[in-house]
């Protein structure tokens, strides 16, 4: 299945599209869905169902995904896969969306909620009064709390404690300064800085 991009991008002069803050938030949620075991070809029609039912732009970056989105997907997962071919020829996509919905949303304590993998990622998002993401707590770190806030650090990852930009602290360490010196310079707890260095120097699998 092909269609419009799942993530929001904006054009940039002399290079390809770049991902704005809202696209980063969408990417985090999309990653959660894929880590829950749902392939992209099933996620696409499920997202289309959300857009159709909620009429909401950037649904992946909206707090309504927690509530209305879970309700929509759960209900559709229960009723959407009819196996009947209609005149529109969209039955296949409907079945894919219904299958994805059943894998993403579960019934817990009489509430329709996202499964544990997706829920863990959603809890990394902090929402503003307008319902859209205003802060992202990045995954991968075990000790450090590294966040992305468009109002701080020029929108680049920063340490929640101390407010230093992640790249600034790592650059000083790469320049040869000891960890304790870098931690004192930027007001970052040593354990968090060690964690950040571990992630930055990790060999890709």
For the CA atoms of 10, 12, 18, 19, what is the dihedral angle to 10 degrees? -40
| Residue range 14-25: mean pLDDT, rounded | 83
Do 108 and 44 belong to one domain? yes
Do 120 and 45 belong to one domain? yes
Q: pTM of the entire structure?
A: 0.84
Report the number of distinct structural domains present in the chain: 2
Q: Which of 67, 97, 131 is the last residue of a domain?
A: 131
pLDDT of residue 91: 59
Q: Rounded to whole angstroms, how far apart are CA atoms 69 and 60? A: 9
Do 31 and 57 belong to one domain? yes
pLDDT of residue 182: 96
- Give how far Cα 172 sits from Cα of 44, 169, 189, Å: 42, 5, 15
The full 3-state SS of 15-51, as one line of letters, equals EEEECCHHHHHHHHHHHHHHHCCCCHHHHHHHHHHHH
For residue 37, give its domain range.
Answer: 1-131
pLDDT tens digit string along 72-111? 999 989 887 544 444 444 556 788 889 999 999 999 988 9
Q: Rounded to whole angstroms, how far apart are CA atoms 172 and 181? A: 9
Which residue, chain included where needed, has tokens 């005149």? 87
Do 59 and 112 belong to one domain? yes
Does position 126 have pLDDT exceeding 60, yes or no? yes
């Amino acid at each position: 299945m092909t269609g419009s991009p799942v993530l929001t991008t904006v054009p940039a002069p002399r290079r390809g599209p770049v991902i704005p803050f809202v696209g980063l938030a969408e990417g985090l949620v999309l990653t959660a869905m894929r880590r829950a075991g749902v392939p992209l070809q099933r996620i696409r029609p499920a997202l289309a169902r959300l857009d159709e039912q909620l009429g909401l732009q950037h649904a992946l970056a909206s707090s309504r995904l927690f509530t209305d989105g879970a309700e929509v997907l759960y209900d559709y997962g229960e009723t959407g896969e009819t196996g009947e071919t209609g005149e529109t020829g969209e039955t296949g996509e409907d079945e894919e969306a219904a299958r994805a919905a059943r894998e993403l949303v579960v019934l817990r304590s009489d509430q329709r909620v996202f499964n544990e993998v997706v829920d863990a990622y959603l809890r990394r998002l902090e929402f503003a009064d307008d319902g859209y993401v205003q802060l992202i707590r990045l995954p991968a770190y075990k000790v450090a709390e590294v966040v992305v806030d468009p109002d701080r650090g020029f929108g680049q990852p920063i340490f929640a404690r101390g407010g230093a930009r992640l790249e600034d602290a790592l650059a000083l360490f790469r320049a040869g300064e000891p960890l304790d010196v870098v931690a004192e310079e930027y007001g970052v707890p040593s354990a968090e800085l060690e964690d950040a260095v571990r992630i930055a120097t990790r060999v890709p699998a």
